[in-house]
Amino acid sequence: MEENQNAVNAVTSEPSEKKSAGAAIKERCRKFIVKLKRNTKLIPYTYLIIIMFLWLIWLFTFSRSVAELSKAEWGGMAIFLTTLFSILSVAVFGSAFPKRKKMNVAMLCVLFAFLVIVILSQVLYYVKVGDYIYHGSNFGADDLAQRPYLQKSLNLSVAVMILYGIGILLVATLPLYKKLLLKINTRKVLEENKLSEEIDAAQM
């Protein structure tokens, strides 16, 4: 009898454990969404920080390419401008969206200007360096194969343009997805309320 009872308890405890684990995950998601509702600007801000660090990681590849192609016009300046304004865009974001205050339109315009400068700097790099590699230099297929970082820097340049373009969209559409987040129901329903509703329904 005791063995049967233990087996029954083990079977009934498994669903309850799964239920409690599911409830814990659901509660974490609810708290996360509530946090985003209160501070939606964290989405574009975090994104800009991530792509800034990605740029700093990729900077080594760009630096090697610029050092190799010293005769490529504006290559070094494009790298400098991208580094400078990618960092400044993160710094200015806090001023554009101050805590518990209305959005600062003037600083928001500055933020957009900085992000556009980053993209234009990469356009400049891609055009000037790409033109030099394939038209202004004596590099052949073998030379490029021995220097894979040259083509890699051009590919990364396109990636940076796309990533910062997405960043501009995230900042520009912030009010839109903030409204969408506010429509999500994150009210916490207590089990006691559910139980009382079930009892009332049964009594009726």
In a domain, 14, yes or no: no
Whether 149 shows a pLDDT value over 70: the answer reads yes
Query: In the structure, what pLDDT confidence band is assigned to residue 197 with cuts at 50, 70 and 90?
Result: very low
- Number of structural domains (the chain) is 1
In a domain, 188, yes or no: yes
Measured CA angle at 121 (ends 69, 160), to 5 deg:
95
In a domain, 48, yes or no: yes
Q: What is the pTM assigned to this prediction? A: 0.76
Whether 198 shows a pLDDT value over 50: the answer reads no
**Rounded distance between C-alpha atoms, residue 148 and residue 168, angstroms:** 31
Distances (CA, A) of 18 to 15, 23, 93: 5, 8, 42
Range of the domain at 123: 41-198
pLDDT of residue 167: 95
In a domain, 120, yes or no: yes
Residue in the block written with tokens 């009898």: 1
Token pair listed for 203: 């009594």
In a domain, 74, yes or no: yes
Distances (CA, A) of 102 to 95, 105, 167: 11, 9, 21
- Identity of residue 103: M
Whether 13 shows a pLDDT value over 60: the answer reads no
pLDDT of residue 4: 52
The segment with the largest mean pLDDT, out of 93-97, 113-117, 184-188, 193-197, is: 113-117
In a domain, 72, yes or no: yes
Distances (CA, A) of 174 to 36, 96, 146, 164, 178: 12, 12, 45, 15, 6
- Per residue in 44-91, pLDDT (tens digit) is 999 999 999 999 999 988 888 887 776 667 788 899 999 999 999 999
Are 81 and 114 within 8 A, CB to CB?
no
In a domain, 101, yes or no: yes
Burial zone of 129 (CB within 10 Å; 0-12 exposed, 13-18 middle, 19+ buried): buried
- Per residue in 166-196, pLDDT (tens digit) is 999 999 998 888 888 777 776 765 444 444 4
Average pLDDT, the chain: 79
Are 43 and 170 within 8 A, CB to CB?
yes
In a domain, 11, yes or no: no
